[in-house]
Structure 1
Amino acid sequence: MRVLVAGATGVIGRALVPLLASVGHDVTGLSRSAGRSALLERAGARAVVADALDAAALDRAVREAAPDAVVHLLTAIPAELNPRKMRQEFALTDRLRTEGTRNLIEAAHRAGARRVIAQSVAFAYDPDGDSLANEDTPLWQAPPKPFRRSLDALRELERRTHDAGGLVLRFGHLYGPGSAFDTDGQFVRQIRAGKLPLVGGGSATFSFTHAHDAATAVAAALDKNATGALNIVDNDPARMSVWLPEVARILGAPAPKRLPAFVARLAVGGWGAAYLTRLRGADNARARLTLDWRPRHTSWRTGLAVELNGAVAAAK
Protein backbone atom coordinates (compact mmCIF):
# COMPACT_ATOMS: atom_id res chain seq x y z
CA MET A 1 0.00 0.00 0.00
CA ARG A 2 1.24 3.51 -0.79
CA VAL A 3 1.05 5.48 2.48
CA LEU A 4 1.65 9.20 2.93
CA VAL A 5 2.57 10.10 6.51
CA ALA A 6 2.02 13.81 7.18
CA GLY A 7 4.05 14.83 10.19
CA ALA A 8 6.49 12.00 9.58
CA THR A 9 9.28 13.35 11.79
CA GLY A 10 7.23 13.86 14.95
CA VAL A 11 7.11 11.58 17.99
CA ILE A 12 4.74 9.06 16.38
CA GLY A 13 5.96 9.57 12.83
CA ARG A 14 9.56 8.63 13.57
CA ALA A 15 8.33 5.31 15.01
CA LEU A 16 5.73 4.77 12.29
CA VAL A 17 7.73 5.34 9.11
CA PRO A 18 10.31 2.55 9.62
CA LEU A 19 7.60 0.21 10.91
CA LEU A 20 5.47 0.67 7.78
CA ALA A 21 8.50 0.30 5.52
CA SER A 22 9.55 -2.89 7.31
CA VAL A 23 6.20 -4.57 6.65
CA GLY A 24 6.22 -3.76 2.95
CA HIS A 25 4.33 -0.48 2.58
CA ASP A 26 5.58 2.12 0.10
CA VAL A 27 5.98 5.10 2.45
CA THR A 28 6.25 8.80 1.66
CA GLY A 29 6.91 11.22 4.48
CA LEU A 30 5.60 14.79 4.35
CA SER A 31 7.60 17.41 6.18
CA ARG A 32 7.65 21.21 6.27
CA SER A 33 11.46 21.24 6.09
CA ALA A 34 13.67 19.97 3.27
CA GLY A 35 16.37 19.48 5.89
CA ARG A 36 14.51 16.45 7.22
CA SER A 37 14.45 14.58 3.91
CA ALA A 38 17.62 12.64 4.69
CA LEU A 39 16.14 11.52 8.03
CA LEU A 40 13.07 10.15 6.25
CA GLU A 41 15.10 8.42 3.57
CA ARG A 42 17.25 6.69 6.21
CA ALA A 43 13.99 5.45 7.78
CA GLY A 44 12.92 3.87 4.51
CA ALA A 45 10.62 6.57 3.08
CA ARG A 46 10.60 8.92 0.15
CA ALA A 47 10.27 12.56 1.19
CA VAL A 48 8.03 15.34 -0.04
CA VAL A 49 8.15 18.87 1.33
CA ALA A 50 5.17 21.16 1.78
CA ASP A 51 3.51 23.38 4.36
CA ALA A 52 0.08 21.92 5.12
CA LEU A 53 -1.28 25.47 5.43
CA ASP A 54 -0.32 26.15 1.80
CA ALA A 55 -3.13 24.34 0.00
CA ALA A 56 -1.56 24.52 -3.47
CA ALA A 57 1.86 23.27 -2.35
CA LEU A 58 0.27 20.51 -0.31
CA ASP A 59 -1.87 19.42 -3.24
CA ARG A 60 1.23 19.10 -5.43
CA ALA A 61 3.04 17.06 -2.76
CA VAL A 62 0.12 14.70 -2.23
CA ARG A 63 -0.34 14.19 -5.97
CA GLU A 64 3.37 13.37 -6.23
CA ALA A 65 3.01 10.76 -3.48
CA ALA A 66 -0.17 9.29 -5.07
CA PRO A 67 -1.16 7.59 -1.80
CA ASP A 68 -3.71 4.89 -1.19
CA ALA A 69 -3.84 6.04 2.44
CA VAL A 70 -2.98 9.25 4.28
CA VAL A 71 -1.94 9.37 7.94
CA HIS A 72 -2.41 12.82 9.51
CA LEU A 73 0.02 13.39 12.41
CA LEU A 74 0.57 17.11 11.87
CA THR A 75 1.31 19.17 14.99
CA ALA A 76 3.68 21.99 15.93
CA ILE A 77 3.76 21.64 19.71
CA PRO A 78 6.82 23.32 21.28
CA ALA A 79 9.27 21.10 23.14
CA GLU A 80 9.06 23.54 26.06
CA LEU A 81 5.47 24.34 27.00
CA ASN A 82 4.37 27.18 29.24
CA PRO A 83 0.81 26.39 30.43
CA ARG A 84 0.15 30.09 30.97
CA LYS A 85 0.71 30.64 27.23
CA MET A 86 -1.49 27.81 25.99
CA ARG A 87 -3.26 29.86 23.31
CA GLN A 88 -0.07 31.32 21.86
CA GLU A 89 1.93 28.09 21.92
CA PHE A 90 -0.85 25.98 20.39
CA ALA A 91 -1.87 28.53 17.76
CA LEU A 92 -0.03 26.82 14.89
CA THR A 93 -1.11 23.32 15.97
CA ASP A 94 -4.71 24.51 16.12
CA ARG A 95 -4.40 25.78 12.56
CA LEU A 96 -2.88 22.49 11.43
CA ARG A 97 -5.85 20.68 12.98
CA THR A 98 -8.36 22.94 11.22
CA GLU A 99 -6.97 24.45 8.00
CA GLY A 100 -4.31 21.76 7.65
CA THR A 101 -6.83 18.95 8.06
CA ARG A 102 -9.12 20.51 5.46
CA ASN A 103 -6.25 20.96 2.99
CA LEU A 104 -4.88 17.46 3.55
CA ILE A 105 -8.22 15.67 3.24
CA GLU A 106 -9.16 17.61 0.12
CA ALA A 107 -5.76 16.90 -1.44
CA ALA A 108 -6.02 13.22 -0.50
CA HIS A 109 -9.45 13.01 -2.12
CA ARG A 110 -8.20 14.60 -5.35
CA ALA A 111 -5.22 12.23 -5.39
CA GLY A 112 -7.51 9.20 -5.08
CA ALA A 113 -6.59 8.12 -1.54
CA ARG A 114 -9.07 5.63 -0.11
CA ARG A 115 -8.12 5.79 3.58
CA VAL A 116 -7.54 8.65 6.06
CA ILE A 117 -6.29 8.14 9.62
CA ALA A 118 -5.85 11.15 11.88
CA GLN A 119 -4.26 11.77 15.27
CA SER A 120 -6.30 13.16 18.15
CA VAL A 121 -5.94 12.91 21.94
CA ALA A 122 -7.48 10.68 24.61
CA PHE A 123 -7.16 13.21 27.43
CA ALA A 124 -9.71 15.79 26.32
CA TYR A 125 -12.76 13.91 27.62
CA ASP A 126 -15.23 15.59 29.92
CA PRO A 127 -13.79 15.12 33.42
CA ASP A 128 -17.17 14.82 35.17
CA GLY A 129 -17.47 11.07 35.54
CA ASP A 130 -16.11 8.31 37.74
CA SER A 131 -15.49 5.67 35.06
CA LEU A 132 -12.83 5.56 32.38
CA ALA A 133 -13.86 7.39 29.24
CA ASN A 134 -14.75 5.34 26.18
CA GLU A 135 -15.18 6.73 22.69
CA ASP A 136 -18.84 7.61 23.34
CA THR A 137 -17.92 9.88 26.26
CA PRO A 138 -18.28 13.53 25.20
CA LEU A 139 -15.24 15.75 24.97
CA TRP A 140 -14.82 18.40 27.65
CA GLN A 141 -18.09 20.30 27.89
CA ALA A 142 -16.88 23.38 29.78
CA PRO A 143 -13.09 23.44 29.45
CA PRO A 144 -10.84 26.14 30.92
CA LYS A 145 -10.86 29.18 28.66
CA PRO A 146 -7.25 28.78 27.40
CA PHE A 147 -8.11 25.27 26.12
CA ARG A 148 -11.32 26.13 24.29
CA ARG A 149 -9.86 27.02 20.91
CA SER A 150 -7.63 23.93 20.93
CA LEU A 151 -10.58 21.73 21.85
CA ASP A 152 -12.64 23.28 19.04
CA ALA A 153 -9.74 22.49 16.68
CA LEU A 154 -9.72 18.85 17.80
CA ARG A 155 -13.47 18.66 17.25
CA GLU A 156 -13.08 20.05 13.73
CA LEU A 157 -10.27 17.60 12.93
CA GLU A 158 -12.41 14.70 14.10
CA ARG A 159 -15.49 15.93 12.24
CA ARG A 160 -13.65 16.36 8.94
CA THR A 161 -12.01 12.95 9.30
CA HIS A 162 -15.38 11.36 10.06
CA ASP A 163 -17.02 13.10 7.09
CA ALA A 164 -14.26 11.70 4.88
CA GLY A 165 -15.01 8.16 6.08
CA GLY A 166 -11.75 8.07 8.01
CA LEU A 167 -10.62 6.92 11.44
CA VAL A 168 -9.48 9.07 14.36
CA LEU A 169 -6.97 7.54 16.77
CA ARG A 170 -7.02 9.23 20.16
CA PHE A 171 -3.60 8.81 21.73
CA GLY A 172 -2.80 9.18 25.40
CA HIS A 173 0.17 10.97 26.94
CA LEU A 174 2.98 10.00 24.62
CA TYR A 175 6.31 8.75 25.84
CA GLY A 176 9.35 7.53 23.99
CA PRO A 177 11.98 9.29 21.85
CA GLY A 178 11.27 12.96 21.24
CA SER A 179 8.44 13.20 23.77
CA ALA A 180 8.10 15.21 26.98
CA PHE A 181 8.81 11.93 28.79
CA ASP A 182 12.02 11.26 26.86
CA THR A 183 15.22 11.16 28.87
CA ASP A 184 15.78 14.88 28.23
CA GLY A 185 12.09 15.82 27.81
CA GLN A 186 10.37 18.61 29.69
CA PHE A 187 8.46 16.40 32.13
CA VAL A 188 11.51 14.31 33.00
CA ARG A 189 13.67 17.37 33.63
CA GLN A 190 10.98 18.89 35.83
CA ILE A 191 10.62 15.68 37.83
CA ARG A 192 14.39 15.34 38.28
CA ALA A 193 14.54 18.90 39.59
CA GLY A 194 11.57 18.40 41.92
CA LYS A 195 9.60 21.04 40.01
CA LEU A 196 6.52 18.99 39.06
CA PRO A 197 4.25 18.97 42.13
CA LEU A 198 1.23 16.93 43.10
CA VAL A 199 -1.52 19.51 42.79
CA GLY A 200 -4.70 19.09 44.79
CA GLY A 201 -3.71 15.57 45.79
CA GLY A 202 -2.67 14.52 42.27
CA SER A 203 -6.22 13.73 41.15
CA ALA A 204 -5.70 13.91 37.36
CA THR A 205 -5.75 10.48 35.70
CA PHE A 206 -3.26 9.92 32.88
CA SER A 207 -3.56 7.29 30.17
CA PHE A 208 -0.15 6.74 28.59
CA THR A 209 0.84 5.60 25.09
CA HIS A 210 4.34 4.58 24.02
CA ALA A 211 5.25 5.95 20.58
CA HIS A 212 5.84 2.41 19.27
CA ASP A 213 2.36 1.34 20.39
CA ALA A 214 0.90 4.39 18.68
CA ALA A 215 2.71 3.33 15.50
CA THR A 216 1.49 -0.28 15.66
CA ALA A 217 -2.08 0.97 16.09
CA VAL A 218 -1.78 3.07 12.92
CA ALA A 219 -0.33 0.09 11.06
CA ALA A 220 -3.19 -2.12 12.24
CA ALA A 221 -5.77 0.51 11.24
CA LEU A 222 -4.46 0.64 7.67
CA ASP A 223 -5.63 -2.95 7.18
CA LYS A 224 -9.08 -2.42 8.73
CA ASN A 225 -12.20 -0.60 7.57
CA ALA A 226 -12.86 0.94 10.98
CA THR A 227 -14.23 4.47 11.13
CA GLY A 228 -15.14 6.82 13.97
CA ALA A 229 -12.69 7.17 16.87
CA LEU A 230 -10.63 4.76 18.97
CA ASN A 231 -8.64 5.25 22.17
CA ILE A 232 -5.03 4.13 21.73
CA VAL A 233 -3.75 3.95 25.31
CA ASP A 234 -2.12 1.38 27.58
CA ASN A 235 -4.00 -0.89 29.99
CA ASP A 236 -3.04 0.96 33.16
CA PRO A 237 -4.50 4.47 33.60
CA ALA A 238 -3.11 6.07 36.73
CA ARG A 239 -3.66 9.13 38.87
CA MET A 240 -0.77 11.57 39.17
CA SER A 241 -0.61 10.64 42.85
CA VAL A 242 0.46 7.17 41.64
CA TRP A 243 2.60 7.70 38.55
CA LEU A 244 4.48 10.86 39.52
CA PRO A 245 6.08 9.47 42.73
CA GLU A 246 6.91 6.26 40.87
CA VAL A 247 8.65 8.10 38.03
CA ALA A 248 10.51 10.22 40.57
CA ARG A 249 11.66 7.00 42.25
CA ILE A 250 12.84 5.54 38.92
CA LEU A 251 14.85 8.70 38.28
CA GLY A 252 16.25 8.87 41.81
CA ALA A 253 14.63 12.31 42.04
CA PRO A 254 13.15 14.03 45.10
CA ALA A 255 9.64 12.99 46.10
CA PRO A 256 7.19 15.43 44.50
CA LYS A 257 6.03 18.32 46.59
CA ARG A 258 2.35 18.90 47.29
CA LEU A 259 0.64 22.09 46.23
CA PRO A 260 -2.93 23.30 46.81
CA ALA A 261 -4.91 23.76 43.61
CA PHE A 262 -5.53 27.48 44.23
CA VAL A 263 -1.78 28.10 44.49
CA ALA A 264 -1.19 26.14 41.28
CA ARG A 265 -3.74 28.28 39.45
CA LEU A 266 -1.70 31.35 40.36
CA ALA A 267 1.49 29.70 39.12
CA VAL A 268 0.39 27.87 35.95
CA GLY A 269 -3.02 29.33 35.16
CA GLY A 270 -6.44 27.75 34.82
CA TRP A 271 -5.48 25.27 32.11
CA GLY A 272 -2.30 24.18 33.88
CA ALA A 273 -4.20 23.56 37.12
CA ALA A 274 -6.97 21.65 35.33
CA TYR A 275 -4.40 19.52 33.50
CA LEU A 276 -2.84 18.53 36.83
CA THR A 277 -6.11 17.87 38.67
CA ARG A 278 -9.03 17.05 36.36
CA LEU A 279 -7.96 14.82 33.46
CA ARG A 280 -9.91 11.60 32.98
CA GLY A 281 -8.40 8.26 32.00
CA ALA A 282 -9.42 6.41 28.84
CA ASP A 283 -10.45 2.82 28.08
CA ASN A 284 -8.78 0.94 25.21
CA ALA A 285 -11.24 -1.98 24.98
CA ARG A 286 -12.80 -0.86 21.69
CA ALA A 287 -9.44 -0.45 19.95
CA ARG A 288 -8.30 -3.87 21.14
CA LEU A 289 -11.45 -5.44 19.68
CA THR A 290 -11.77 -3.39 16.50
CA LEU A 291 -8.14 -3.40 15.41
CA ASP A 292 -7.04 -6.63 17.08
CA TRP A 293 -4.34 -4.39 18.59
CA ARG A 294 -2.46 -4.89 21.84
CA PRO A 295 0.03 -2.43 23.31
CA ARG A 296 3.48 -3.93 23.71
CA HIS A 297 3.92 -1.65 26.72
CA THR A 298 0.82 -2.66 28.65
CA SER A 299 1.68 -0.36 31.56
CA TRP A 300 3.55 2.91 31.91
CA ARG A 301 5.25 1.34 34.96
CA THR A 302 7.45 -0.95 32.91
CA GLY A 303 7.48 1.17 29.75
CA LEU A 304 8.74 4.32 31.44
CA ALA A 305 11.21 2.36 33.54
CA VAL A 306 12.78 1.02 30.33
CA GLU A 307 12.74 4.40 28.58
CA LEU A 308 14.18 6.31 31.54
CA ASN A 309 17.15 4.02 32.15
CA GLY A 310 19.13 6.38 29.94
CA ALA A 311 18.27 9.37 32.11
CA VAL A 312 19.32 7.51 35.24
CA ALA A 313 22.60 6.37 33.67
CA ALA A 314 23.37 9.87 32.42
CA ALA A 315 22.91 11.30 35.90
CA LYS A 316 25.50 8.96 37.45
Structure 2
Amino acid sequence: MTSTTKTPVATNKRTAEQRHENAVGWGMLLPASLLLLLFIGIPVLLAFGLAFTNARTISPNPTRFIGFENFTRLFSDPTFWFALRNVAVFAVVVVPVQAGLGLLLAVLINKQVRSSVFFRTVYFLPVVTSMVVVSLLWMFIYQNDGMLNQVMSKLTFGHWQAVDWLNDPRTAMGAIIVMSIWQAVGQHMLIWLSGLQTIPGELYEAAELDGCSAWEQFKNVTWPGLRSTRNMILITITIAAMSLFTQINVMTQGGPRDATTTVVFEAVRSGFQQQEMGYASAITLVFFCIIMVITAIQRYLTREK
Protein backbone atom coordinates (compact mmCIF):
# COMPACT_ATOMS: atom_id res chain seq x y z
CA MET A 1 0.00 0.00 0.00
CA THR A 2 1.31 3.41 -1.04
CA SER A 3 0.95 6.17 1.54
CA THR A 4 -0.57 9.46 0.31
CA THR A 5 0.21 11.42 3.48
CA LYS A 6 2.25 14.54 2.76
CA THR A 7 5.55 14.83 4.56
CA PRO A 8 6.33 17.95 6.63
CA VAL A 9 9.03 18.87 4.12
CA ALA A 10 6.56 18.82 1.20
CA THR A 11 4.02 20.81 3.22
CA ASN A 12 6.58 23.44 4.15
CA LYS A 13 7.73 23.67 0.54
CA ARG A 14 4.17 24.19 -0.67
CA THR A 15 3.58 26.86 1.99
CA ALA A 16 6.75 28.67 0.96
CA GLU A 17 5.63 28.60 -2.68
CA GLN A 18 2.25 30.04 -1.75
CA ARG A 19 3.88 32.81 0.24
CA HIS A 20 6.15 33.61 -2.68
CA GLU A 21 3.18 33.73 -5.07
CA ASN A 22 1.27 35.98 -2.69
CA ALA A 23 4.27 38.28 -2.34
CA VAL A 24 4.63 38.51 -6.12
CA GLY A 25 0.93 39.22 -6.49
CA TRP A 26 0.96 41.99 -3.89
CA GLY A 27 4.12 43.43 -5.46
CA MET A 28 2.42 43.64 -8.86
CA LEU A 29 -0.69 45.18 -7.28
CA LEU A 30 1.20 47.79 -5.28
CA PRO A 31 2.03 50.30 -8.08
CA ALA A 32 -1.57 50.45 -9.29
CA SER A 33 -2.86 50.72 -5.72
CA LEU A 34 -0.51 53.61 -5.00
CA LEU A 35 -1.63 55.44 -8.14
CA LEU A 36 -5.29 54.92 -7.28
CA LEU A 37 -4.68 56.18 -3.76
CA LEU A 38 -2.69 59.18 -4.97
CA PHE A 39 -4.96 60.34 -7.81
CA ILE A 40 -8.39 59.11 -6.64
CA GLY A 41 -8.45 58.24 -2.95
CA ILE A 42 -6.67 61.30 -1.54
CA PRO A 43 -8.47 63.83 -3.82
CA VAL A 44 -11.85 62.37 -2.84
CA LEU A 45 -11.01 62.67 0.84
CA LEU A 46 -9.73 66.23 0.36
CA ALA A 47 -12.86 67.19 -1.58
CA PHE A 48 -15.03 65.75 1.16
CA GLY A 49 -13.19 67.74 3.79
CA LEU A 50 -12.96 71.01 1.84
CA ALA A 51 -16.68 70.94 1.06
CA PHE A 52 -17.40 71.99 4.65
CA THR A 53 -14.89 74.87 4.69
CA ASN A 54 -14.46 78.30 3.11
CA ALA A 55 -11.18 77.28 1.47
CA ARG A 56 -9.93 79.49 -1.36
CA THR A 57 -7.02 78.98 -3.73
CA ILE A 58 -5.38 82.28 -2.84
CA SER A 59 -6.57 84.06 0.28
CA PRO A 60 -4.90 85.85 3.21
CA ASN A 61 -7.60 84.49 5.52
CA PRO A 62 -7.11 81.03 7.05
CA THR A 63 -9.44 78.21 6.06
CA ARG A 64 -12.19 77.61 8.60
CA PHE A 65 -15.04 75.16 9.04
CA ILE A 66 -18.41 76.59 7.93
CA GLY A 67 -20.63 73.51 8.11
CA PHE A 68 -23.30 73.18 5.42
CA GLU A 69 -23.12 76.77 4.14
CA ASN A 70 -21.63 75.68 0.81
CA PHE A 71 -24.42 73.17 0.28
CA THR A 72 -27.10 75.71 1.23
CA ARG A 73 -25.64 78.13 -1.28
CA LEU A 74 -25.35 75.39 -3.91
CA PHE A 75 -28.99 74.28 -3.71
CA SER A 76 -30.16 77.90 -3.92
CA ASP A 77 -27.92 78.70 -6.89
CA PRO A 78 -29.91 78.74 -10.18
CA THR A 79 -26.72 78.12 -12.16
CA PHE A 80 -26.31 74.73 -10.48
CA TRP A 81 -29.84 73.71 -11.43
CA PHE A 82 -29.26 74.93 -15.00
CA ALA A 83 -26.10 72.80 -15.10
CA LEU A 84 -27.89 69.76 -13.68
CA ARG A 85 -30.71 70.14 -16.19
CA ASN A 86 -28.24 70.44 -19.08
CA VAL A 87 -26.40 67.31 -17.96
CA ALA A 88 -29.68 65.42 -17.65
CA VAL A 89 -30.77 66.43 -21.15
CA PHE A 90 -27.36 65.53 -22.55
CA ALA A 91 -27.40 62.10 -20.89
CA VAL A 92 -31.01 61.29 -21.84
CA VAL A 93 -30.24 61.95 -25.51
CA VAL A 94 -26.68 60.70 -25.78
CA VAL A 95 -26.97 57.40 -23.88
CA PRO A 96 -29.62 55.70 -26.06
CA VAL A 97 -28.57 57.31 -29.36
CA GLN A 98 -24.87 56.62 -28.94
CA ALA A 99 -25.46 53.07 -27.74
CA GLY A 100 -27.97 52.40 -30.52
CA LEU A 101 -25.74 53.76 -33.28
CA GLY A 102 -22.77 51.84 -31.92
CA LEU A 103 -24.78 48.62 -31.95
CA LEU A 104 -26.05 49.29 -35.47
CA LEU A 105 -22.54 49.88 -36.79
CA ALA A 106 -21.24 46.80 -34.96
CA VAL A 107 -23.95 44.59 -36.49
CA LEU A 108 -23.29 45.98 -39.97
CA ILE A 109 -19.52 45.36 -39.89
CA ASN A 110 -19.68 42.09 -37.94
CA LYS A 111 -19.92 40.19 -41.21
CA GLN A 112 -16.61 38.85 -42.44
CA VAL A 113 -16.34 41.05 -45.50
CA ARG A 114 -13.22 42.42 -47.09
CA SER A 115 -13.88 46.05 -46.12
CA SER A 116 -14.86 45.45 -42.47
CA VAL A 117 -11.38 46.29 -41.13
CA PHE A 118 -11.38 49.54 -43.10
CA PHE A 119 -14.75 50.62 -41.69
CA ARG A 120 -13.72 49.70 -38.14
CA THR A 121 -10.69 51.96 -38.51
CA VAL A 122 -12.72 54.83 -39.98
CA TYR A 123 -15.38 54.66 -37.27
CA PHE A 124 -12.81 54.42 -34.49
CA LEU A 125 -10.59 57.25 -35.78
CA PRO A 126 -12.47 60.06 -33.92
CA VAL A 127 -12.04 58.16 -30.65
CA VAL A 128 -8.24 58.25 -30.77
CA THR A 129 -8.26 61.91 -31.79
CA SER A 130 -7.89 64.37 -28.95
CA MET A 131 -11.22 65.79 -27.76
CA VAL A 132 -9.66 69.27 -27.85
CA VAL A 133 -8.79 68.82 -31.53
CA VAL A 134 -12.25 67.45 -32.30
CA SER A 135 -13.88 70.36 -30.46
CA LEU A 136 -11.81 72.93 -32.38
CA LEU A 137 -12.67 71.22 -35.67
CA TRP A 138 -16.40 71.29 -34.94
CA MET A 139 -16.17 74.93 -33.84
CA PHE A 140 -15.18 75.78 -37.40
CA ILE A 141 -17.99 73.58 -38.75
CA TYR A 142 -20.57 75.36 -36.59
CA GLN A 143 -19.49 78.93 -37.43
CA ASN A 144 -21.77 81.30 -39.38
CA ASP A 145 -19.64 80.79 -42.47
CA GLY A 146 -18.71 77.24 -41.51
CA MET A 147 -19.17 74.05 -43.48
CA LEU A 148 -22.56 73.13 -41.97
CA ASN A 149 -24.25 76.39 -42.94
CA GLN A 150 -22.66 76.32 -46.36
CA VAL A 151 -23.87 72.77 -47.02
CA MET A 152 -27.39 73.65 -45.83
CA SER A 153 -27.35 76.71 -48.09
CA LYS A 154 -26.37 74.60 -51.09
CA LEU A 155 -29.05 72.02 -50.37
CA THR A 156 -31.74 74.69 -50.06
CA PHE A 157 -30.51 76.66 -53.11
CA GLY A 158 -29.54 79.69 -51.03
CA HIS A 159 -32.71 79.90 -48.92
CA TRP A 160 -31.00 78.74 -45.73
CA GLN A 161 -30.42 81.45 -43.14
CA ALA A 162 -27.04 80.94 -41.46
CA VAL A 163 -27.29 79.86 -37.81
CA ASP A 164 -24.64 80.61 -35.21
CA TRP A 165 -25.03 77.17 -33.68
CA LEU A 166 -22.84 77.62 -30.61
CA ASN A 167 -24.01 81.15 -29.72
CA ASP A 168 -27.75 80.47 -29.86
CA PRO A 169 -29.25 79.09 -26.61
CA ARG A 170 -31.75 77.08 -28.68
CA THR A 171 -29.10 75.19 -30.66
CA ALA A 172 -25.93 75.23 -28.54
CA MET A 173 -26.61 72.09 -26.50
CA GLY A 174 -27.90 70.23 -29.56
CA ALA A 175 -24.69 71.06 -31.40
CA ILE A 176 -22.63 69.71 -28.49
CA ILE A 177 -24.74 66.55 -28.41
CA VAL A 178 -24.26 65.83 -32.13
CA MET A 179 -20.51 66.34 -31.93
CA SER A 180 -20.18 64.17 -28.81
CA ILE A 181 -22.13 61.29 -30.34
CA TRP A 182 -20.01 61.42 -33.50
CA GLN A 183 -16.79 61.43 -31.50
CA ALA A 184 -17.48 58.49 -29.18
CA VAL A 185 -19.75 56.17 -31.14
CA GLY A 186 -16.76 54.27 -32.56
CA GLN A 187 -15.54 53.27 -29.12
CA HIS A 188 -18.87 51.70 -28.20
CA MET A 189 -19.10 50.11 -31.64
CA LEU A 190 -15.93 48.15 -30.87
CA ILE A 191 -17.28 47.09 -27.47
CA TRP A 192 -20.52 45.90 -29.08
CA LEU A 193 -18.48 44.15 -31.75
CA SER A 194 -16.45 42.26 -29.17
CA GLY A 195 -19.70 41.13 -27.56
CA LEU A 196 -21.16 40.03 -30.88
CA GLN A 197 -18.13 37.89 -31.62
CA THR A 198 -18.61 35.92 -28.38
CA ILE A 199 -22.03 34.64 -29.49
CA PRO A 200 -21.67 31.10 -30.92
CA GLY A 201 -22.40 30.87 -34.63
CA GLU A 202 -24.30 27.60 -34.04
CA LEU A 203 -27.13 29.60 -32.49
CA TYR A 204 -27.61 31.57 -35.70
CA GLU A 205 -27.45 28.37 -37.77
CA ALA A 206 -30.13 26.79 -35.60
CA ALA A 207 -32.27 29.90 -35.89
CA GLU A 208 -31.97 29.85 -39.69
CA LEU A 209 -32.99 26.19 -39.76
CA ASP A 210 -36.06 27.12 -37.72
CA GLY A 211 -36.97 29.72 -40.33
CA CYS A 212 -36.25 32.80 -38.18
CA SER A 213 -36.01 36.13 -39.95
CA ALA A 214 -33.08 38.50 -39.43
CA TRP A 215 -35.09 40.50 -36.88
CA GLU A 216 -36.11 37.34 -35.00
CA GLN A 217 -32.47 36.23 -34.89
CA PHE A 218 -31.47 39.59 -33.46
CA LYS A 219 -34.28 39.59 -30.90
CA ASN A 220 -33.87 35.98 -29.73
CA VAL A 221 -30.15 35.35 -30.22
CA THR A 222 -28.14 38.54 -30.53
CA TRP A 223 -29.84 40.77 -27.95
CA PRO A 224 -29.90 38.18 -25.11
CA GLY A 225 -26.29 37.27 -25.87
CA LEU A 226 -25.23 40.90 -25.38
CA ARG A 227 -26.61 41.25 -21.85
CA SER A 228 -23.24 41.72 -20.12
CA THR A 229 -21.93 43.99 -22.88
CA ARG A 230 -25.15 46.00 -22.79
CA ASN A 231 -24.91 46.61 -19.05
CA MET A 232 -21.29 47.74 -19.26
CA ILE A 233 -21.97 50.12 -22.16
CA LEU A 234 -25.00 51.59 -20.42
CA ILE A 235 -23.03 52.42 -17.29
CA THR A 236 -19.91 53.73 -19.06
CA ILE A 237 -21.86 56.00 -21.43
CA THR A 238 -23.95 57.37 -18.57
CA ILE A 239 -20.91 58.22 -16.46
CA ALA A 240 -19.13 59.80 -19.44
CA ALA A 241 -22.24 61.82 -20.34
CA MET A 242 -22.69 63.06 -16.80
CA SER A 243 -19.02 64.11 -16.71
CA LEU A 244 -19.25 66.33 -19.80
CA PHE A 245 -16.55 69.00 -19.61
CA THR A 246 -13.94 69.24 -22.38
CA GLN A 247 -16.34 70.10 -25.20
CA ILE A 248 -17.97 72.79 -23.08
CA ASN A 249 -14.65 74.24 -21.95
CA VAL A 250 -13.30 74.52 -25.49
CA MET A 251 -16.40 75.38 -27.51
CA THR A 252 -18.83 77.45 -25.42
CA GLN A 253 -17.42 78.15 -21.94
CA GLY A 254 -20.86 77.30 -20.58
CA GLY A 255 -22.68 79.89 -22.69
CA PRO A 256 -24.72 81.33 -24.12
CA ARG A 257 -26.60 82.31 -20.95
CA ASP A 258 -25.65 79.05 -19.20
CA ALA A 259 -27.33 77.01 -21.96
CA THR A 260 -24.41 74.55 -22.02
CA THR A 261 -23.10 74.85 -18.46
CA THR A 262 -22.53 71.44 -16.87
CA VAL A 263 -21.91 70.42 -13.29
CA VAL A 264 -18.27 69.52 -13.87
CA PHE A 265 -17.65 72.75 -15.76
CA GLU A 266 -19.29 74.75 -12.97
CA ALA A 267 -17.11 72.99 -10.39
CA VAL A 268 -13.93 73.76 -12.35
CA ARG A 269 -14.98 77.36 -12.93
CA SER A 270 -15.78 77.86 -9.24
CA GLY A 271 -12.57 76.24 -8.06
CA PHE A 272 -9.98 77.58 -10.50
CA GLN A 273 -11.43 80.76 -12.00
CA GLN A 274 -13.32 82.05 -8.97
CA GLN A 275 -10.84 80.33 -6.58
CA GLU A 276 -13.60 79.03 -4.30
CA MET A 277 -12.23 75.57 -3.60
CA GLY A 278 -14.64 74.88 -0.75
CA TYR A 279 -17.68 75.62 -2.90
CA ALA A 280 -16.23 73.66 -5.83
CA SER A 281 -15.65 70.70 -3.52
CA ALA A 282 -19.29 70.87 -2.42
CA ILE A 283 -20.37 70.72 -6.07
CA THR A 284 -18.19 67.68 -6.78
CA LEU A 285 -19.35 65.90 -3.63
CA VAL A 286 -23.03 66.38 -4.49
CA PHE A 287 -22.39 65.34 -8.09
CA PHE A 288 -20.49 62.25 -6.93
CA CYS A 289 -23.50 61.21 -4.84
CA ILE A 290 -25.83 61.76 -7.81
CA ILE A 291 -23.70 59.58 -10.09
CA MET A 292 -23.49 56.85 -7.45
CA VAL A 293 -27.28 56.81 -7.08
CA ILE A 294 -27.81 56.66 -10.86
CA THR A 295 -25.24 53.88 -11.22
CA ALA A 296 -26.83 51.89 -8.40
CA ILE A 297 -30.26 52.21 -10.03
CA GLN A 298 -28.84 51.04 -13.36
CA ARG A 299 -27.14 48.09 -11.71
CA TYR A 300 -30.39 47.18 -9.99
CA LEU A 301 -32.47 47.43 -13.16
CA THR A 302 -29.98 45.45 -15.26
CA ARG A 303 -29.19 42.81 -12.65
CA GLU A 304 -29.44 39.12 -13.56
CA LYS A 305 -32.93 37.94 -12.68
Question: What is the TM-score of this pair, normalised by structure 1?
Answer: 0.20
Question: What is the TM-score of this pair, normalised by structure 2?
Answer: 0.21
When you count strand as a share of all residues, which structure comes out higher? 1
When you count helix as a share of all residues, which structure comes out higher? 2
- Higher normalized contact order (CA 8 Å, seq sep 6+, divided by chain length): 2
